[in-house]
Structure 1
Amino acid sequence: MDVKADSLYQEMQAMIGQARLQTSATPEIQANPGAAGEFSTMLKSAIDGVNDMQMNSKSMQHSFEMGDPSLSLADVMLAKEKAGIAFEATVQVRNKVLDAYKQIMNMPV
């Protein structure tokens, strides 16, 4: 099984670059009241992407178990690992957001 960590890293860097381009188009969040809507849209699309990866992985697993000759075990395992990594990253982002929220709520006013 030939897993390319570099290609996954490059995909992540490309996503970061796209996110930076989107944020550089609106440099002042406070001056843009629609930024909250854009953030929620971006967050929803990211979560939907992770969900799609998990659903695709599950359908590939089911097809492989049913004997689909077009799927190899390596393809199924790669899809499963990508979905797992994406889910773990989503959980880590959620944890960081919750930590930031707790810190903000504990700040003295």
Structure 2
Amino acid sequence: MVTNEFVPGIKVFNEGVKGNIENKNEQNNIGSSFSEMLNSALNKVNETQVKAEEETNGFIKGDVNLHEAMVSAEEARLTLELAVQVRNKLINAYEEFNKMQI
């Protein structure tokens, strides 16, 4: 009896194994990798904000259509909202960590 007709390709399994090997190699650099990950995520948020602003200016000039400008503005809003929520979760985790008694 088939319960799920989804059969992943071999690519899924190869990338999973590759990712596990890379994770084991990177466990020595956890502090730097976390800060690098956070920095790259914030850079991506900044890039979406800049792209949205450029497309909005392009729409005002008549170079970009409304649909593209609205999509990029919504993407920028969502990425910023996600960044704020992640920041809030990190602050809450930090506060809970400080409340712990040793």
Whether these two folds match at TM > 0.5 is yes
Instruction: Tell me the residue number matched to 1:58.
Output: 53
Instruction: Tell me the residue number matched to 1:106.
Output: 99
Runs (4+) off by over 6 Å: none
Does residue 93 (structure 1) correspond to residue 73 (structure 2)? The answer is no
RMSD between superposed Cα atoms in Å = 2.4
Instruction: Tell me the residue number matched to 1:36.
Output: 31
- What 5-or-longer segments of structure 1 have no aligned partner? 1-16
- What 5-or-longer segments of structure 2 have no aligned partner? 1-14
Q: What is the number of residues matched between the two proteins?
A: 86
Percent identity, please: 33
TM-score (norm 2): 0.75
For the residues of structure 2 that align with 1:58 and 1:22, how far apart are their CA atoms? 38
Inter-CA distance 39–66: structure 2 relative to 1 (3 Å threshold): same
Identify, as 1 or 2, the structure richer in helix: 2
Instruction: Tell me the residue number matched to 1:48.
Output: 43
